[in-house]
A and B are shown apart, each in its own frame.
Chain A
Amino acid sequence: MEHYREPLNRHRTEEKEYQYINTNNSSCIDNLDLFVKIEENKIKDICFDGEACAISTSSTSIMIKNLIGKTIEEAQDYIENFEKMLNEEEYNEELLQEAIAYKEIYKQGNRKHCAFLPYEGIKKILNKNNN
């Protein structure tokens, strides 16, 4: 709930070092802009802005908190685990920390995508930087 009311890093940036991606949910109205700063294979900073529901907003905030400081590979591993959790597969609970709050979300099929929305955007950026 705090991550919804006062999400981390909710602001836009014009700085050149940040890579930008928009991620939106075709079946609903969530629409997020993500700004990611990667230096020497590490995620230095992420900020975001946009219109999104409580689940998407809080999920973005927790994702930002947990991904800053990670290498690209570590971040990809983290995202893979988060995705596995949403899909009810085996995952590393310790790695996900606060993000395990969404482990019951599969029960509300229509909200699963809300929780994963920010990860979808970040995944694309990380894949681009890993090539």
Chain B
Amino acid sequence: MNIEDFPMLKEDLIYLDNGATTLKPQCVIDKIKEYYETYSANAHRGDYDISFKVDMEYEKSRETVRNFINAPYKENIIFTSGTTESLNMIANGFFKNIIEQNDEILITKSEHASNVLPWFRLANECGAIMKYIPLESHHYVTLENVKKAVTPNTKIIALAGITNVIGDERPIKEITKFAHENDIFVVLDGAQSVPHRKTDVQDLDVDFLAFSAHKMCGPTGVGVLYGKKELLENIDPINLGGGMNESFDNPNEIYLKELPTRLEAGTPNIAGVIGFGEAIRYLEKIGMENIENYEKKLRKYAIDKLLTIPHLDIINIESDSGIIAFNVDNIFSQDVAYYLNKYKVCVRAGNHCAKILKKEVGVTNSLRVSLYFYNTESDIDALVELLENKEHIEREML
């Protein structure tokens, strides 16, 4: 769908690494260009016209995000540099103040590094304990397994909505309901889910949500931290500085602004935030349901075709998302990725930042194809044709 909107697709490129980052449509590029060319001033000034326009556009993006995830207030939306920063702010700025010795933090072995390492550090610093929800046979998370892993000491459940290697979609709403009945906070890593599914934070009822602009047609270096208002009020700002203070006189008299500016110290990524707003409006025009349905159909098409190749080992046949992880028998994944690159097919090889997943799946590294709505059946056909002949791969991979 909508291939013509993407300048990168004007060349004969087959881009199948959307889990890493997505391509940018012309309207997002134009929106950023327009800021730099016609009203390139700082935010939070408003003393002159172009600065006032910056504030209007910047806050319009916040409203666009709020509406997109159905958050109740604009104060729920904090702009960050991306999912990683958002998750670190949650762990360091909020939970560090309330987690105590022997409290338990529950994650899974298939989380991305960004949803593992901030919790590891929190556990080290607070004497808390890391626990893992056991995964089902297809590496899925079920509510039953969450119930088994929860103890009276569990304080946090931090999960990706969709994981970045297995691509499984978690029953977040049900998990959150159960968690809240047991006074457990739920942190949702939406990096791989928000770009591909309609996300309604009030329906899911999660306490925090983190996601990135660049994985959903937006610019790099921008992301969102969503939090329930009463929780965000209690986040210690990690960065202090301009824009976020009300007044200060000496170390004992520092007064900070209200949300959301309190958590956005310094000159923000103005162009990025404005571009992000445009990206969301672009996705909304296509429709998140259309995107989801299209990707599911394309995934099925891809899986059916890839399954006909005997020398492929697909790790996540059953998965729900546009992510397909696989290996070519006896060929190192990176060599296959280099081979595909020769034919302008971009896929990812490696452990995909999910380093504790290895033992769980029994595969140390793999190739990953991750789809978005601008991929087509002919992209899949090209991939399949290149993978069909194993001798050709071996001959051409150097």
Residues of A within 8 A of B (CB): 1, 4, 28-30, 51-55, 57, 108, 110-111
User: CB-CB < 8 A to A110: which residues of B?
Assistant: 338
In the assembled complex, 6 residue pairs joining A and B whose CB atoms fall closer than 8 Å, in A order, are A1-B398, A4-B398, A28-B350, A51-B332, A51-B364, A51-B365
Closest-CB distance, B343 to chain A (whole angstroms): 14
Which residue of chain A is the closest to B395 with respect to CB atoms? A1
How far is it, in angstroms, between the C-alpha of A108 and the C-alpha of B397 when the chains are bound? 12
Asked if B397 and A54 make an inter-chain contact with CB atoms under 8 angstroms apart, the answer reads yes
Which residue of chain B is the closest to A111 with respect to CB atoms? B338
309-349 of chain B: CB within 8 A of chain A: 332-335, 338, 349
User: CB-CB < 8 A to A1: which residues of B?
Assistant: 398
User: CB-CB < 8 A to A29: which residues of B?
Assistant: 333-334, 349-351, 365
Closest-CB distance, B38 to chain A (whole angstroms): 37
Residue among B333, B334, B397 with max Cβ neighbours from chain A (10 Å): B334
- Of B338, B351, B364, the contact of A53 (CB 8 Å cutoff): B338
Q: A51-B332, A54-B332 are in contact. Are A28 and B349 (CB under 8 A)?
A: yes
Q: A1-B398, A29-B365 are in contact. Are A54 and B335 (CB under 8 A)?
A: yes
User: CB-CB < 8 A to B332: which residues of A?
Assistant: 51-54, 57
User: CB-CB < 8 A to A54: which residues of B?
Assistant: 332, 335, 397-398
How far is it, in angstroms, between the C-alpha of A44 and the C-alpha of B351 when the chains are bound? 35
How far is it, in angstroms, between the C-alpha of A53 and the C-alpha of B398 when the chains are bound? 10
User: CB-CB < 8 A to A57: which residues of B?
Assistant: 332
Closest-CB distance, B368 to chain A (whole angstroms): 12
- Please list the 10 inter-chain residue pairs (A to B) with the smallest Cβ-Cβ separation, ordered nearest first: A53-B334, A29-B350, A54-B335, A53-B332, A53-B335, A29-B365, A28-B334, A54-B398, A29-B334, A54-B397
Closest-CB distance, A82 to chain B (whole angstroms): 18
How far is it, in angstroms, between the C-alpha of A71 and the C-alpha of B350 when the chains are bound? 37
How far is it, in angstroms, between the C-alpha of A53 and the C-alpha of B349 when the chains are bound? 11
Closest-CB distance, A78 to chain B (whole angstroms): 23
How far is it, in angstroms, between the C-alpha of A55 and the C-alpha of B331 when the chains are bound? 12
Q: What per-residue 1/0 map shows which CB atoms of B349-390 lie under 8 Å from chain A?
A: 111000000000000110000000000000000000000000
Residue among A1, A4, A53 with max Cβ neighbours from chain B (10 Å): A53
Closest-CB distance, A111 to chain B (whole angstroms): 7
Which residue of chain B is the closest to A28 with respect to CB atoms? B334
Asked if B333 and A55 make an inter-chain contact with CB atoms under 8 angstroms apart, the answer reads no
User: CB-CB < 8 A to B351: which residues of A?
Assistant: 29
